[in-house]
A = this chain, B = another copy of it.
C-alpha cells in the first residue's frame, strides 16, 4: 500500500510545479529584498513600542499598531479576536549575590515568568547545585530541605540543532520549582538557557502546576557566566550563602487580542491558510527576534502576495497571536474559534525561531503533503533553502492540529538564537534586514505554492486508493 502510494505521489509530484512558478518565486524574493516592509515594521515594534509582555501597555500598543498597519494593506478584512491573558509583572530589577569567606559577589539574575516574589528583604539560604531532576531526586529531602536549588544543567553544545539542546534542559526552568519544593527547597536558581558564556540572564515561563499558593517558592535565572562562577565557588565552599530579591507579581487575567487580517480566497474561500507569529514577547529586551521577526514576516507575507500580483484561491490569513510566552491563550483561542465556526484550516505556518537566514521548514503533516513539498525543492534551491524535514511546527498553530492540516515551522539558522532568546539583548540591532527579508520571502513562496496546488487530504488519498 505504502509503495503504491509513494509511487503515485512521485508521479504526481513531477508535474507539480511549472516554469511560471520559478518566475513567481523570483518576483517574491526580489520584492522582499528590494521593497520589503518587514524591517521597518520591526523597527517600530522594537524601538517605538519595545518589550510586549501579555497584559502590558506595550502589548496593547502592539495590537493597535499592527492592526492599523494591516488595515493599510488593502486586505479584505482585518479584525481583533478577544482573548483573556495572564498578566505578570517583573517589578524592580532583581538583586542577587553569593557570599563566601565574608566576600559578596554580585551575580546577574532575572525572575522567571510566573514566579512569586521573595520576601521584601529578599531570601538568603545555602544553595545546592544539581545538574537536573535526577540528581535532585538522588540528593533527596535530607540534602535539599531549607536550601535554594541551583539547576545548572547546560545546553548541550554539540547538538547542531540548538532547539534540541534547548528542549534538553528547558524543563528545569519550567518545572524546577515544582520539583524542588517537594523536597523542601526554599528557592530556585536556574542556569540561563543560553549556549554562549555571557552576562545576560534569560527569563522564560515557569509553572507551579498544582502547587497551592502557600507552597510556592521564588524562581530566577542566572547568567551562564555567573552560573559558572557560582559552580566554581560552590566547589570551594559548600556552605556558601546565596541571596536574591525579586518583587514580581501575578495579577488577574486581562483582556487582550489576536490580530487577524485576511485575503479572501477567489476559488476556495472556505479553505483557510494561516501564517503567523506571536505579538507578545518577554519584557527584558524588545522581543525583536522572539517574535517581532515572526510577526513582521507574517505581515509581509500577505503584503508580498499582493505586491507580487498573486490572487490566492484560498483564504489567506495573517494571525498575530497574543500570549505565546506565558500561556498560549492566543493560539488556543484561535483554534477554538476556528472549530466553533467550522472553518476548514488546511495549512498553518509559524515563524517563531528568530529573524535569521532561513534554511527551510519543518513539517508536521502527512507524508503526501511532505512529498508535495519535496517536489518543490528545486524551486527553492536558488534561495539556498534546503531544509524540508518532518518535525515541530510552532506553539501557536499546534492547537489546530488534525489529520489533514499542514502545520509548518519556518527554520532559520539557529546558531545564534539562544544568545538572545528571552534576554535583554534581544533587540532590533541583533536582526539583519536581509536575513529577515529572506525569511519573509521564503514563507510567502511556500504559501503561494500550497495555495496554488492545494494540500492533500487523507480522505482524497483513500478514495484514489480504493
Binds B, one of A180-188, A338-346, A379-387, A452-460: A379-387
- Which residues of A from 274 to 327 have beta carbons under 8 Å from B? none
Question: Which residue on chain B has the smallest CB distance to residue A418?
Answer: B434
In the bound complex, residues from chain B placing their C-beta under 8 Å from that of A107 are none
Question: Which residue on chain B has the smallest CB distance to residue A196?
Answer: B433
- Which residues of A from 150 to 164 have beta carbons under 8 Å from B? 157-158, 160, 162
Q: Does A359 contact B (CB under 8 A)?
A: yes
- Which residues of A from 138 to 178 have beta carbons under 8 Å from B? 157-158, 160, 162
Q: Does A94 contact B (CB under 8 A)?
A: no
Q: Determine which residue in A196, A415, A438 has the highest number of CB atoms from chain B within 10 A of its CB, and name it.
A: A415
Q: What string of 1s and 0s marks CB contacts (under 8 Å) between A38-65 and chain B?
A: 0000000000000000000000000000
Tell me whether B387 and A359 are in contact (CB under 8 A): no
Tell me whether B157 and A33 are in contact (CB under 8 A): yes
* Copies of this protein in the complex: 2
In the bound complex, residues from chain B placing their C-beta under 8 Å from that of A115 are none
Tell me whether A384 and B387 are in contact (CB under 8 A): yes
Q: Does A419 contact B (CB under 8 A)?
A: yes
CA distance A415 to B438 in the complex (A): 9
CA distance A416 to B432 in the complex (A): 7
Q: Does A357 contact B (CB under 8 A)?
A: yes
Q: Does A413 contact B (CB under 8 A)?
A: yes
- Which residues of A from 397 to 433 have beta carbons under 8 Å from B? 413, 415-416, 419, 432-433
CA distance A432 to B434 in the complex (A): 18
Q: Does A34 contact B (CB under 8 A)?
A: yes
In the bound complex, residues from chain B placing their C-beta under 8 Å from that of A434 are 157, 162, 195, 415-416
CA distance A433 to B198 in the complex (A): 12
Which residue in B158, B383, B386, B438 is a CB contact (below 8 Å) of A29? B158
Question: Which residue on chain B has the smallest CB distance to residue A387?
Answer: B384
Q: Does A81 contact B (CB under 8 A)?
A: no
Q: How far is the CB of A436 from chain B (nearest CB, A)?
A: 10
Q: Does A271 contact B (CB under 8 A)?
A: no
Q: Determine which residue in A387, A416, A438 has the highest number of CB atoms from chain B within 10 A of its CB, and name it.
A: A416
Q: Does A21 contact B (CB under 8 A)?
A: no
- Which residues of A from 171 to 211 have beta carbons under 8 Å from B? 195-196
CA distance A413 to B359 in the complex (A): 10
Q: How far is the CB of A28 from chain B (nearest CB, A)?
A: 11
Q: Does A99 contact B (CB under 8 A)?
A: no
In the bound complex, residues from chain B placing their C-beta under 8 Å from that of A415 are 357, 432, 434-435, 438
Q: Does A371 contact B (CB under 8 A)?
A: no
Question: Which residue on chain B has the smallest CB distance to residue A435?
Answer: B415
CA distance A272 to B34 in the complex (A): 45
Q: Does A30 contact B (CB under 8 A)?
A: yes
Q: How far is the CB of A225 from chain B (nearest CB, A)?
A: 14
- Which residues of A from 359 to 404 have beta carbons under 8 Å from B? 359, 382-384, 386-387
In the bound complex, residues from chain B placing their C-beta under 8 Å from that of A29 are 158, 160
In the bound complex, residues from chain B placing their C-beta under 8 Å from that of A419 are 432
Q: What string of 1s and 0s marks CB contacts (under 8 Å) between A333-357 and chain B?
A: 0000000000000000000000001
Q: How far is the CB of A185 from chain B (nearest CB, A)?
A: 31
Tell me whether A160 and B416 are in contact (CB under 8 A): no
Tell me whether A413 and B196 are in contact (CB under 8 A): no
Q: How far is the CB of A460 from chain B (nearest CB, A)?
A: 32
Tell me whether A160 and B387 are in contact (CB under 8 A): no
Given A384-B387, A413-B357, A415-B357; A158-B432 close (CB under 8 Å): no
Q: Determine which residue in A157, A419, A432 has the highest number of CB atoms from chain B within 10 A of its CB, and name it.
A: A157
6 residue pairs bridging A and B, Cβ less than 8 Å apart? A34-B158, A160-B382, A160-B438, A413-B413, A415-B434, A416-B432
Known contacts A357-B413, A416-B432; can you find 5 more A-B pairs with CB under 8 A?
A: A33-B157, A160-B438, A162-B434, A416-B434, A419-B432
